Amino acid sequence: MRDRRPATGLRWTTGVLVCMLVASGDVVAQAPKGAAKRPATTPVAPKVSASALKANANLASTLTGVYTEEQAGRGRNFYLGMCKSCHAPESHTGPTFAKWWKGRKLSDLFTYISTQMPKNDPGSLDPADIADVMAYLMKLNAEPAGKDELYPDADSLKKFRIDVKQAGTSTAKGKKP
């Protein structure tokens, strides 16, 4: 008599895929028609005081090009493989990104990612991968690339302030040319 059970590898792969779908919240597809979709869960950035934001105004802007295209490419690959299952790009771009990170030190973003991500194993990411993902996030936010890569440590990133490009502007200060 022939064994009709699926191969062990197929069962394992199917189990992993099901767990990933459940963990990423993609079970919304089972909701009845017309039901509201669950909003994606988004991390909350640590609070920063107004005086700290004011002090950061003297730092170099990320709009001066603080990462390379190559680094952003590596970051994209890492993001697609490790982050996208929980985080949609929309949660890291535009007004959402600006609300959380505009005016803050780039080291704050690095520290947040390095201590809070991934959600299932916080603090386990390699610093070089974090810097690459940050480069990709800046590229997603239309920040220009430069000739030097981001260094993978918080201390070296303290000299940069996160700025966001506003529609219709082309300079770091947000003024039209």
Q: What is the pLDDT of residues 11-22, one digit of tens each?
A: 444 444 334 433
- Indicate whether this model's pTM tops 0.75: no
Highest mean pLDDT among 96-100, 106-110, 172-176: 106-110
CA distance 5 to 11: 9
Tell which residue, 42, 168, 55, 173, has the closest CA to residue 104.
55
| Angle (nearest 5°) at CA 174 between 100 and 59 | 65
CA 12 to chain CA mean position, Å? 29
For range 140-157, the mean pLDDT: 96
The pLDDT assigned to 105 comes to 96
Tokens of 34: 């017309």
Contact assessment for residue 134 and residue 110, using Cβ atoms and an 8 Å cutoff: yes
For range 62-75, the mean pLDDT: 97
CA distance 47 to 30: 36
Banded model confidence at residue 89, pLDDT cuts 50, 70, 90: confident
Evaluate if residue 49 carries a pLDDT over 90: no
Please provide the distance, in angstroms rounded to a whole number, between the alpha carbons at the two ends of the chain.
79
Whose structure tokens read 């004011």? 54
Evaluate if residue 171 carries a pLDDT over 60: no
Q: Which residue has the higher pLDDT, 76 or 50?
A: 76
Those residues whose C-beta lies under 8 Å from the C-beta of residue 141, and which sit 6 or more positions away, are: 92, 93, 94, 97, 164, 165
CA distance 161 to 53: 9
Evaluate if residue 115 carries a pLDDT over 50: yes
Tokens of 63: 């709009």
In DSSP terms, which residues pair with 160 in a beta bridge?
60
The pLDDT assigned to 43 comes to 52
Phi/psi region, residue 19 (left: phi>0; alpha: psi -120 to 50; beta: rest), is alpha
